[in-house]
Chain A
Amino acid sequence: MNRRFALRIAAALALAAPLIAGASPAMAQTKLTNVSYDPTRELYKEFNAAFEKNWKAETGETLRVQVSHGGSGKQARSVIDGLNADVVTLALASDIDGIAKATGKIPENWQARLPNNSSPYTSTIVFLVRKGNPKGIKDWGDLVKQDVQVITPNPKTSGGARWNYLAAWAWARANNGGDDAKAKAFVGELFKHVPVLDSGARGSTTTFAQRELGDVLLAWENEAFLSFKEFGEDKFEIVYPSISILAEPPVAIVDGNVDKNGTRKAAEAYLNLLYDKEGQTIAAKNYYRPSKPELANPEDVKRFKDLKLVTIDKDFGGWKKAQAEHFGDGGTFDQIYRPQ
């Protein structure tokens, strides 16, 4: 029995060894890693297949795009900690700024390298409510009514949640004659109505749609549309608030990594295709507002409602400032949020 036992252990180890060794050549094969944020899963599933086909047609090479999804802040943290991303497609510029600052793998002027602030598609924040809108939610002010429960992810880890937060802030400021103190009080009141903070936008959507918690979900427009598709149009309604925010999820090449991986050309082609007809069409189809709507399918573009949108640069002085002021340590979010 002893000998057999020892043999078995040896066999298990022998079995495992080539697996570890085998993992390395597999990594050397042409692949491109896209580290993205939470709700882009469906978008990049479709887009990656298109890009792989395109790349094969152009270069004859078989390339595989690998993706990772999660809360935007968390994903940025992983890249800082060494996740080998060739491109990052995150929810907001400050997360890519963070990578640039912490690692030096992305130059500081990254956002000027691609058109439209490096955002091939944009989105906005809308409300998703239960069918028939039983709580009568029309605008931001209704979210702090007595019996309303609001679902939003955590602004510390989720990009979408930061857009939610700033959109609420913008509305409150506009309705209080530009008073930031009153805006802060409103947002503080709003977060008292939040029973659970998920770490990413997708977690919040499942909390609201699958687990049926809360009366209103502050959601990316694309997440709201997607919920229709996944759970049926008879379950939810989209409510467009009077003011929302122009969310610009940016993309960037991680220069330090692509140079090491030898993937610069593929990474550039990948991002360029996002701006091209194919990328814009796929983005619009997946409910992202294309930055060049003329390239997308008009049927898809028709679905997007015109909204009064504030912007991060004009109304909040850019992401660097907004990030430090609202979401940094001791920022307004830390001041207003007290878990109950």
Chain B
Amino acid sequence: MSADAALALGPSSGLSEPVRLPSPVTESRLAQIALIAIAVAFLAFFLLLPLIAVFAEALRRGVNAYFASFTDPDTLSAIWLTVVVAAIAVPLNIVFGLAASWAIAKFDFKGKSFLLSLIDLPFSVSPVVAGMCYVLLFGAQGYFGHWLDSHNLQIIFAIPGLVLATIFVTFPFVARELIPLMQEQGTSEEEASLSLGAGGFRTFWSVTLPNVRWALLYGVLLCNARAMGEFGAVSVVSGHLRGLTNTIPLQVEILYNEYNFVAAFAVASVLASLGLVTLAIKSGLEWRYGDQISAAHRH
């Protein structure tokens, strides 16, 4: 027991006796239980129950019906398209995210905070608006519409539009994970590497990148989950051509609207499973490499 604490309690308490500090939790036991119960009930009701409902609905007509949902060619093509879009958008986001966070964390330049807020923009802009912007730019009536049309290029209502919209909404995920960590790590290791004669590229490859690898993986996971699950932005630019421009979330809506409830929930369960797997890996990473993931986890 520290002397400070004893002093604070005043002279009435004996100095030789161990001083009983008031518990940092001042609420009564009952209040504590009530608060925890409310929190748990809230989570169960708003998160767990819907999740269970998705799987329950998907399996309502049995396992065979569940798997039969995945024989529909339109559904298969939606799954394929989603993988394709993520396979393009996520690597590009890795490149952009690394470049941006490297520049922001390791260098000082004018307009840095502006760049930071730009990276955060997709978090604050509604995805639907993002989709609309691309329609305004690349739609037939848009700024580049005429030029694209005369060169027979289709962006909106085709895969490039879906990729663009996905990149937009997932843009912050990688950069946001890397920036705080890179900032905390500082530049001393890079300086050491450079002073030992390594080139800039070598330094990046052998020093900077390994230092952030788990944070990068973490960001990529989040980025991928969002890329595959995005609805609003891709809905605007998709055109909803069956078997051609529908991603998994759009296909779920279509199936639901066609009274195909089992199939709708079966396909939705794929997305939900993706979310659960992401969550599991994410927790694993946090548990195992917490200190290397983000500066925020270190303390």
Contact = CB atoms under 8 A, between A and B. Distances in A.
A335 interface: no
Interface residues of A, number: 36
Contacts of A307: none
A273 B95 CA distance: 51
A23 interface: yes
A82 B154 contact: yes
Contact of A12 (B87, B139, B210, B261): B87
A210 B242 CA distance: 23
B240 interface: yes
Contacts of B138: 82
Contact of B242 (A68, A78, A203): A68
Interface of B is mostly: helix
Interface string B68-99: 00000000000000001001101100110000
Contact of A67 (B140, B145, B242, B257): B242
Contact of A13 (B91, B240, B257): B91
A7 interface: no
Interface residues of B, number: 38
Nearest to A198: B257
Interface string B223-249: 000000000000000011111100000
B141 to A, nearest CB: 6
Contacts of A6: 205
Interface string A9-44: 100110110011001000100000100001001100
B59 interface: no
Contact of B206 (A2, A67, A82, A206): A2
Interface of A is mostly: helix
A102 interface: yes
Nearest to A82: B140
Contacts of A20: 84, 88, 159-160
A230 interface: yes
Nearest to A81: B139
A9 B91 contact: yes
B213 A82 contact: no
Given A13-B91, A69-B240, A202 B257 contact: yes
Contacts of B243: 66
B178 interface: no
A102 B139 CA distance: 13
A231 B260 CA distance: 11
